[in-house]
Amino acid sequence: MDFIQAGPELKNTFTHDPYLEKSLRRLLPSDIFQKIHPHLKHVGELAVTDWLKWSREAESNPPTHTPFDAWGTRIDKIQNSEGWKHLEDAAATEGIVACAYERKFGEYSRVYQAALLYLFHPSSAFVSCPLAMTDGAARAIELYGDDELKNGAFKHLTSRDPREFWTSGQWMTERTGGSDVSGTSTRAARREPSRESKSAATPTTFDWSLNGVKWFTSATTSQMAMLLARPEGAEDGSRGLSLFYTELRDSNQRLKNIEVLRLKEKLGTDALPTAELRLNGTPAKLVGGEGGGVRKISSLFNITRVYNSVCSIGHYRRALDLAQSYAQVRVAFGKKLSDQPLHRKTLHELEEQFKRCFDLTFFVAHLLGKDECETASEAERILLRALTPIAKLYTAKHCVLGVSEIVESFGGAGYIEDTGIPRLLRDAQVFSIWEGTTNVLALDFLRALERETPAAFIQAIEERCIKKDNAHHMALWLKAKAHIARMATASREELEADARVLSFLIGDIVSFGLE
Ligand code: MFK
């Protein structure tokens, strides 16, 4: 008989996770843990049954774009797979966005959500991406929206009913850049107000019209989007930008003055429809008054950055689960891989790095929940602002590095498409690019540090994240403090050039301190 190698197997990703339940028991009051336990177990089962099946279906049937009908009428139809639609419905039913706004568990609601998303993401074919923007849009409306948006769009974004649930896009990136939005050339002009909306509950007043091209839009099948545009007469640069709301389709599902230029061909995230769009007088509504667009949309992208961290660790976990399962069935040199000291050590080191990413992410999720429920202390507010970019850059980079190592742990099989392993690496690469690259986030951390003041940040870290009885940890912290102290005399050039080193050092220190 020819030898046939058994492949890796996945089991309920909640009950078989080596770290999630233990961590939640530590992070949550026990009554909250008991209440959410059955739901997480249910979701962990879905992640290896229905969701896994649908995500594979979605990945095998990428979205298509049909620009014209047979007679030449522009229709710009984007067709998602059935699997994708089932996954969007499932996200609504399980309340992945809703639970953060119901706030049933007060400041712990974001921790509960992080656990759900962590289980959902690896079997979601990146439906997690529109969910991130949906959640961010809900937060921006909560903070800056008027009654129309709060009674209309917000209720759809936070609905548990798949028939009512909306997802949102976030359109910032133009041809001039995704990191630097100051060159945004989309123009906003006032127009005759019209009250129209896909929302049956509340018609929305659209009294602006938008013209321009958006270069990366990752939720082109969403019902709405939040975007940056420059009102007529506003100054150049990012200060002249405002935040707008638009609904993509009319009640007949036709795009409202929006042309889909093309779907992007990407390295990964194949199931996710990412498009270039032209706005041709698209009706829009100003959010939170004119100006301050970047500050307002930061409430949205700070949420998507937390999602990015959660999805990075979920992705990392999935890759580790597969590698550990494979190590139990693959034999070489007379022993299972799991019994080979060097292979075991390699996987162990990845597991330890994963845990640091996990702890940092859940710490930030808890801080976010505290901030939203107004129970955060001043030190916690400072930590949330400074550690959101740190968690994003740290988890994304370690996810790519870890998954690359895991692909290698499969040997040649890791390089073969139909094992599903190469996809893990291609998909992982997006985490360190979208929602701000590693360098952009390191500079964001630097700005947060300067704005909140280095002294306040040092005090906040010492209050919450330093193990004073651990010599290794103290040595790292002294190194970071020396780095921060040099900021007082360093040139701008030196500060920026060192921002990445400092960011990863802070990521190491905080995650180590939380263990
Ligand atoms: C789907 C498949 C995709 C395929 C691959 C992916 C391709 C990539 C797709 C994308 O392009 S995703 C979009 C990625 N882009 C970003 O996430 C934006 C990255 N850039 C930044 O984060 C820049 O730092 C930023 C645009 C914010 C810089 O803009 P500015 O105007 O130079 O910022 P500035 O002057 O520092 O801040 C303006 C205001 O916003 C300030 O408030 P005030 O007006 O009150 O002074 C800041 O405090 C505030 N602000 C900025 N960042 C903030 C923030 N507030 C809170 N948190 C933050 N992070």
Q: Quick check: CB of 359 below 6 Å from ligand 1?
A: no
- Look at residues 94, 77, 108 and name the one whose alpha carbon lies nearest to residue 14: 94
Per-residue burial over 16-49, b = 16 or more CB atoms within 10 Å of its CB, e = otherwise: ebeebbebbeebbeeebbeebeebbeebbbbbbe
pLDDT at 88 exceeding the cut of 90: yes
- The Cα–Cα gap between 337 and 339 comes to 5
- The Cα–Cα gap between 175 and 186 comes to 11
Please give the structure tokens belonging to residue 313: 């660790």
> Average pLDDT for residues 489-512, to the nearest whole number?
96
* 171 C-alpha to ligand 1 centroid (Å): 12
* 347 C-alpha to ligand 1 centroid (Å): 36
DSSP at 202 = -
Sign of the dihedral defined by the CA atoms of residues 29, 32, 36, 37, in that order: positive
* 158 C-alpha to ligand 1 centroid (Å): 24
- Residue 198 confidence (pLDDT): 66
Ligand 1 test: best mutation among 228, 294, 367, 453, most atoms within 8 Å of CB? Answer: 294
* 179 C-alpha to ligand 1 centroid (Å): 7
- Residue 253 confidence (pLDDT): 85
- The Cα–Cα gap between 284 and 208 comes to 5
Give the residue whose CA is nearest to atom 1 of ligand 1.
Answer: 218
- The Cα–Cα gap between 98 and 344 comes to 40
- The Cα–Cα gap between 68 and 74 comes to 4
- Residue 201 confidence (pLDDT): 63
What's the alpha-carbon Rg for the chain, to the nearest Å? Answer: 23
Distant-in-sequence, close-in-space partners of 488: CB < 8 Å, separation ≥ 6:
454
Q: Quick check: CB of 368 below 6 Å from ligand 1?
A: no
Q: What is the dihedral of CA 98, 101, 107, 112, to 10 degrees?
A: 10
- The Cα–Cα gap between 432 and 425 comes to 12
> Average pLDDT for residues 502-509, to the nearest whole number?
97
CA atoms within 13 A on the CB side of 37: 14
> Average pLDDT for residues 216-227, to the nearest whole number?
93
- Residue 199 confidence (pLDDT): 65
DSSP at 205 = E
- The Cα–Cα gap between 402 and 425 comes to 9
Q: What is the pLDDT of residues 142-162, one digit of tens each?
A: 999 999 999 999 999 999 999
pTM recorded for the entire structure: 0.97
> Average pLDDT for residues 372-400, to the nearest whole number?
98
* 181 C-alpha to ligand 1 centroid (Å): 8
Atom of ligand 1 nearest to the CA of 435: 17
- DSSP-assigned states of every residue in 309-345: HHHHHHHHHHHHHHHHHHHHH-EETTEEGGGSHHHHH
- The Cα–Cα gap between 62 and 64 comes to 7
Q: Quick check: CB of 179 below 6 Å from ligand 1?
A: yes
Please give the structure tokens belonging to residue 265: 């061909």
Give the residue whose CA is nearest to atom 41 of ligand 1.
Answer: 295
Q: In which band, very low, low, confident or very high, does the pLDDT at 200 lie, cut at 50, 70 and 90?
A: low
List helix spans (H) across 121-269: 128-144, 147-151, 153-157
Q: Quick check: CB of 173 below 6 Å from ligand 1?
A: yes
- Residue 489 confidence (pLDDT): 94
Atom of ligand 1 nearest to the CA of 294: 40
Q: What value does the mean pLDDT of the chain take?
A: 96
Give the residue whose CA is nearest to atom 11 of ligand 1.
Answer: 178
231, 188 contact by CB (below 8 A): yes
- The Cα–Cα gap between 34 and 28 comes to 10
pLDDT at 455 exceeding the cut of 90: yes
pLDDT at 67 exceeding the cut of 70: yes
pLDDT at 399 exceeding the cut of 90: yes
Ligand 1 test: best mutation among 131, 295, 371, most atoms within 8 Å of CB? Answer: 295
> Average pLDDT for residues 314-326, to the nearest whole number?
98
Q: What is the pLDDT of residues 288-299, one digit of tens each?
A: 999 999 999 999
Q: What percent of the chain has pLDDT over 90?
A: 92
- The Cα–Cα gap between 389 and 371 comes to 16
- The Cα–Cα gap between 301 and 135 comes to 10
Q: Quick check: CB of 178 below 6 Å from ligand 1?
A: yes
Give the residue whose CA is nearest to atom 6 of ligand 1.
Answer: 434
Question: Going from the N-terminus, what domains does the chain have, and what CATH number goes with each?
Answer: 168-292 (2.40.110.20), 293-515 (1.20.140.10)
Distant-in-sequence, close-in-space partners of 14: CB < 8 Å, separation ≥ 6:
20, 21, 40, 41, 43, 44, 45, 47, 119
Q: Quick check: CB of 444 below 6 Å from ligand 1?
A: yes
Q: Quick check: CB of 298 below 6 Å from ligand 1?
A: yes
Give the residue whose CA is nearest to atom 36 of ligand 1.
Answer: 447
Give the residue whose CA is nearest to atom 53 of ligand 1.
Answer: 298
> Average pLDDT for residues 357-371, to the nearest whole number?
98
Q: What share of the chain is helix, strand, coil (3-state, %, to 5)?
A: 55, 15, 30
State whether residue 231 is helix, strand or coil: strand
* 226 C-alpha to ligand 1 centroid (Å): 14
> Average pLDDT for residues 193-208, to the nearest whole number?
79
pLDDT at 271 exceeding the cut of 80: yes
